[in-house]
Copies of this chain bind each other. A is one copy, B any other.
Amino acid sequence: MISRKFRKIVFGGDYNPEQFPKKIWEEDMRLFQLAGIDIATLNVFSWSLNQQDEETYQFDWLDEVMDMLHANGVQVCMGTSTAAHPAWMAKKYPDVLTVTSDGKKRNYGRRHNSCPHSPTFRHFAGIMARKLAERYKNHPALLLWHVNNEIGNRCYCNNCEKAFRDWLKKRYGTLELLNEAWYTRFWGHSFFDWDEIVLPSALSEGLSGGNSDQTAFQGITLDYYRFNSDSWLDCYLIEYNAIKAEIPDAIVTTNFQGNGTYKPLDYFKWAPHLDIAALDIYTENHTPESYMALRYDLMRGLKDGAPFMLMEQSPSVINWKTVNPVKRPDVMRLRSYQAVARGAESIMFFQLRRSLGAYEKFHGAVIDHAGHEHTRVFKECAELGQELQQLGDRLLDSRLKSRIAILFDWDNWWAVELGGGPSAHIKYLDQIQKYYDAFYENHIQVDFIHVDTELSKYDLVLAPLLYMVKPGYAQKLEHFVANGGTFVTSFYSGIVNENDLVTPGGYPGELRKLLGIWVEEIDPLFPDQRNGMVMKQGFGKLQASYECGLVCEIVHLEGAETLAEFDRDFYRGSPCVTYHHFGKGEAWYAATDPSREFMQQWIKALCERKGISQLYEAPPGVEVTQREKDGDRFTFVMNHTEQIQKMNVGRSVQKELLSGLSISGDIELEPKSILILQA
């Protein structure tokens, strides 16, 4: 296992000593020691410092920092410095600059500013990665590699346009197949020469400006999204391969942005090329904990359950929202453990020392502008650092187990939100979160899977809003259910194939046989509209009726049975939740967006039916997970509320790892507290 190179859950974060005079570096070393910091991410934004012109490279400053860190017991996560190109490069080789969706060539500035098809960028980024790998491959401080930073942007330049045509040639081979996939007979769009194809931008197919996904040709835009994700993966691989050429056993990764759900990059397609998955997580005080939980579980799912890195979080404030309040006491610690509880093997911050200038000078840091250890934030970090040292390697490589899987698919996400459908309020992440939350609130952990994941190891598979059904996936689901599995999906599913072309013959298309229904009409509701759900039979502890909204579909049964039906409108009495006995299993369909109450109780009943029970019975606001290794079970119990919570952790005595106490039976959880119980 790659992550076994870690000796414990590493603790540290981004460190930019190049912004400070050297006398500060020594003070930093003292403070790192105090805080138990043992990892520093270096060299993320120092391209212009490392390479002042086309010929001249200098890494003396980096040598010095590496040596100093090593001398102080701090390992290094080595950035490749390619996340922002130097000003001289933009001036000399303007192809590094991107073009916006509405055709504006950017000037030099900001970061994440390179075109993914700039020959200049690719050339110099590869050289830089190679030079760094050559220089530091034997340095004792080096732990792992961090390529670029929060990779991703969309460019609409001529180089990208040419590359898009090449990508399409590879994908389709002939224009005939491309014209078919894109349905170009519509609006007379047939292409007779590859060079007639232009990028789908705000100036071509875009329908409402560059920031929106609304497009006249969903197929073209969908392919551009795939292409753009692949383009950046290529750039990542240039650096990845340069490093591996020098250091075959290097651990190489990059930090995923957007809290791990960054729409432009298909992280499932990227994951095989990362030695360990890593994400940055930036949330607000009022962000619900299940929001983060989902993203950690998704990161774990990227590499089939392997641990991941929490590469960045803020110890307190962020700086880019309209209002950026401080993190309340104990919240940073609790939310850090939440990541560990779901598979993280690092707790890292942006940033170790707060900048004095430019955009992020008011972003939180372990060491504040005050510069000393006597701040609340530093003290909280230092306490956590000590605890992680005491925990040692105990949790490393332990796994979370689940008999339940939720499918997550970037292509589907892209396609379902490209516009022109029943309602722009139908959002993939909302639906995934809603189904996820039903498990979260029941203290039942789930895995996130991708379309290639083998289903047989699961009892329950969910694919909410499965608008796009890829080739063979319907058969895969049928096989899973026929062999006893339970499958759950929801409205607006089975609509299109992988090219966003409708499967004719009646919705839900390829899923119709499995679900035993025909969906005749899809009636979206306005945001303040609701319909009612009336239960037609008992199921678990479901009540007699619930509210629902967003979408109501008119469903005809073709073998399925009705759990609930609509209560209002001209389709009153028609089914809104159905299930279909299919082989040895069952296929469920929610033809609407039910209330959270229904979701929680329905999912609970579905789990009970499969013999899946919750980890503990715990009050709302208390989160429970379990990591396992070598027969040991580590149960995390986290009280996210501001009140004392009571629960029962069972009769057998367990050791609580942070306090060292032995615990059993009824317990009281302090506000914002965490227990790690070992059994």
Contacts and interface: CB of A to CB of B under 8 A. Distances in A.
A170 interface: no
A201 B49 contact: no
Nearest to A111: B187
Interface string A350-383: 0000111111111100001111000111000000
A430 to B, nearest CB: 15
Interface centre among A183, A218, A325 (most CB of B within 10 A): A325
* Interface of chain A: mostly helix, strand, loop or mixed: loop
Nearest to A363: B420
A520 interface: yes
The count of identical subunits is: 3
Interface string A219-247: 10000000000000000000000000000
Nearest to A506: B370
Contacts of A127: none
B425 A323 contact: yes
A193 B370 contact: no
A108 B188 contact: no
Contacts of A518: 370
Given A201-B107, A319-B420, A521-B316, A91 B193 contact: yes
A194 to B, nearest CB: 11
A126 interface: no
Nearest to A524: B323
A523 B357 contact: no
Given A87-B189, A91-B195, A425-B322, A110 B358 contact: no
B91 A183 contact: no
Contacts of A375: 520-521
Given A46-B188, A87-B189, A216-B110, A326 B196 contact: no
A504 interface: yes
A524 B216 contact: no
A109 interface: yes
Contacts of A420: 319-320, 359-363
A49 B104 contact: no
Interface stretch (A139-147, A202-210, A388-396, A660-668): A202-210
5 contacts: A87-B190, A87-B196, A316-B521, A368-B520, A369-B502
Given A102-B104, A329-B570, A357-B499, 17 more contacts: A49-B190, A84-B188, A84-B189, A91-B193, A110-B207, A111-B188, A111-B216, A183-B358, A186-B357, A215-B359, A322-B424, A323-B424, A325-B525, A357-B502, A361-B502, A370-B506, A370-B520
* 10 tightest A-B CB contacts, nearest first: A183-B357, A109-B204, A186-B358, A87-B196, A370-B506, A107-B204, A109-B205, A48-B188, A48-B190, A356-B502
